[in-house]
Structure formats: structure tokens, C-alpha cells
Amino acid sequence: MAERPFTPLVDPPTGTSADAPLVFTVRGDQVHLAEVDTVDPDELGEGHLYLGQLGGSDCWAVDVDGDDEPDVLLTPLMALHANVSEAEWLVAGRAVQLVQWRRTHRFCGSCGGPTEMVPGERAMRCEDCRLMAFPRLAPAVITLVTRPDGAALLARNAAWPMPMFSCLAGFVEPGETLEHAVAREVEEEVGIQIGRVAYQGSQPWPFPHSLMIGFHAEYESGDIDVDGVEIAEADWFTTDELPPIPPRLSIARRLIDEWIAAN
């Protein structure tokens, strides 16, 4: 069965949704998803946000990041992926990001004045200086580098507690194109130069507020020389000698699976 499409919206449409509403209860990066009969926004409390529609269901986020324990069992967002559909998990990530954004933008970053939600827009506006603050999104490139002989470069991040190998990734710097960011990150982390860079796809990554932009890059020159800070080790692998790789949750696994299928 095809996934239900999600339509992001700021305000709920007039009338009643075709399907039962979905409520995403959020505390930090933990979420509880519930299908309810009806939703009265006035009963959701001050920390609620309308997210949009998943198929015919209105989706709401409720912030319970306070002293009181919520009366539902919350699940870490990463673990929630195994218990809900892909579309529901993406909306849960949206809920976590928007709740965090609203919680951390109650005051203006310029003058310190209180902020308010802007009607009809996903924005917070300072009541004093009128500065607008929009949800933060940090673009990051993630890249699978391959050689002409078919081998792929995989690396182990020094911060990972388990010996897992994945693609190279990093945040885009101001003034960079995505392609420049790919080349820079690869050279900084493992010391090699790449040639052709091809876009492969993207994935919202709410840990905490990234957009992962996936690429395939072709090896050009140089020997592996890991930075020793972010990358602990890296090597070239063939499809029949793979180390432990990421779960199917991430775009990193998608890039690796596509390489495996092509070889």
C-alpha cells in the first residue's frame, strides 16, 4: 500500500478532516503518537502546534516539556521508526523540530523581548523590535565515494560507540555550493580528492534539525589519511567484505544499498 501523502500546513483547514486526527506528544526528542476521535485546540494547552495533514488526518504536536509527567509512554524518535509507518515517522520528526523551535524562540535573539506566533506563517515575531525567527534547518551533505574498480569508501566516526562504518558527511558552510561542501568534507576527513559529484536524494533528519542531502562522488586522487578527530578509521570496501553498516532508517544506508545493487 502506498504511503499517505503529507501536506505541511500552518493552520488547520476549515471543516472536519476525513480521517481521525493524529496527536504527536513531544518531550525533548521523545514522542508518543495517538489517533484520537476529535481535537479541540483549546484543550491541547498552550504548547500545541498544527503540523498539517497526513492523508485525510489532521496532525497536531503537543509540547509536554515541563515538570509534570505526561500520561502517555514516550519513545525516542530514533526507536519510534520501527513502530510506525515511514510517513508517520517523518511527521513525528517535524513535530519534534517545531516544538523545539517554538520552545527555544520564546524570546528575541536580538533585543531579548518576548515573541509571538505570526498568524498564517510558521514564524515567531518579537513584540518589541519585530524581528522574525523561522524554524532552523541545517543542510548537511552525505557522500558515498567509489573508485573505478567498484570499491566504496566507508568510515567510522570517532564519536560512535559501536564499530559501524558509513558514508562521509558534514554541514554546508556559508557561501558554499553543495558540491563544494562534498569535496571539502571528503578532503578534510580522509585526505583524498574527488571528481564528479552526482546528487542522489535527500532526507529530513531531525537530530536535531538537519536536512541530509545525498551524493555519489567519484574518486580522483590521493591516499586515505583520516583526520583523527572526527574520523577514527576509513578504508575501501567491496560488496563481499562489508563492515557493519547503518540501519535502513538513514539515507546513508540507501546510498550504500544502491551501490551494492549496482555492483
Q: Give residue 42's pLDDT band: very low, low, confident or very high (50, 70, 90).
A: confident
pLDDT-above-90 percentage for the chain: 80
The chain-wide mean pLDDT, for the chain, equals 93
Q: What is the pTM of this model?
A: 0.89
Q: Is the pLDDT of residue 45 over 80?
A: no
Structure confidence at residue 1 (pLDDT): 40
- Using left for φ > 0, alpha for ψ between -120 and 50, and beta otherwise, residue 15 falls in left
Mean pLDDT of the region 151-173: 93
- Residue 149: C-alpha distances to residues 159, 188, 223 (Å): 30, 23, 15
Q: Give residue 16's pLDDT band: very low, low, confident or very high (50, 70, 90).
A: low
Structure confidence at residue 100 (pLDDT): 95
Q: Is the model more confident about 198 or about 3? A: 198
Structure confidence at residue 133 (pLDDT): 97
Among the listed ranges 37-46, 145-154, 197-206, which one has the minimum average pLDDT value?
37-46
Structure confidence at residue 3 (pLDDT): 65
Q: Give residue 89's pLDDT band: very low, low, confident or very high (50, 70, 90).
A: very high
**Domain coordinates in residue numbering, the chain:** 6-104, 138-262
CATH code of domain 138-262:
3.90.79.10
Quick one: CATH architecture of 6-104?
Answer: Alpha-Beta Complex (3.90)
Q: Characterize 25-39 residue by residue with b for buried, 16 or more Cβ atoms within 10 angstroms of its Cβ, and e for exposed.
A: bbbebbbbbeeeeeb
One fold for 6-104 and 138-262: yes
Q: Is the pLDDT of residue 7 over 90?
A: yes
SS3 track for the chain: CCCCCEEECCCCCCCCCCCCCEEEEEECCEEEEEECCCCCHHHCCCCEEEEEEECCEEEEEEECCCCCCCCCCCEEHHHHCCCCCHHHHHHHHHHHHHHHHHHHCCECCCCCCEEEECCCCCCEEECCCCCEECCCCEEEEEEEEECCCCCEEEEEECCCCCCCCECEEEECCCCCCHHHHHHHHHHHHHCCEEEEEEEEEEEEECCCCEEEEEEEEEEEECCCCCCCCCEEEEEEECCCCCCCCCCCCCHHHHHHHHHHHHC
Structure confidence at residue 65 (pLDDT): 81
Burial class (CB in 10 A: 0-12, 13-18, 19+), 228: exposed
Mean pLDDT of the region 229-241: 95
Structure confidence at residue 34 (pLDDT): 93
Q: Is the pLDDT of residue 18 over 90?
A: no
Backbone angles phi, psi at 82, to 5 degrees: -75, -15
Structure confidence at residue 67 (pLDDT): 60
Q: Minimal CA–CA distance to 192: which of 231, 219, 169?
A: 219
Q: Minimal CA–CA distance to 105: which of 94, 116, 93?
A: 116
Q: Is the model more confident about 99 or about 65? A: 99
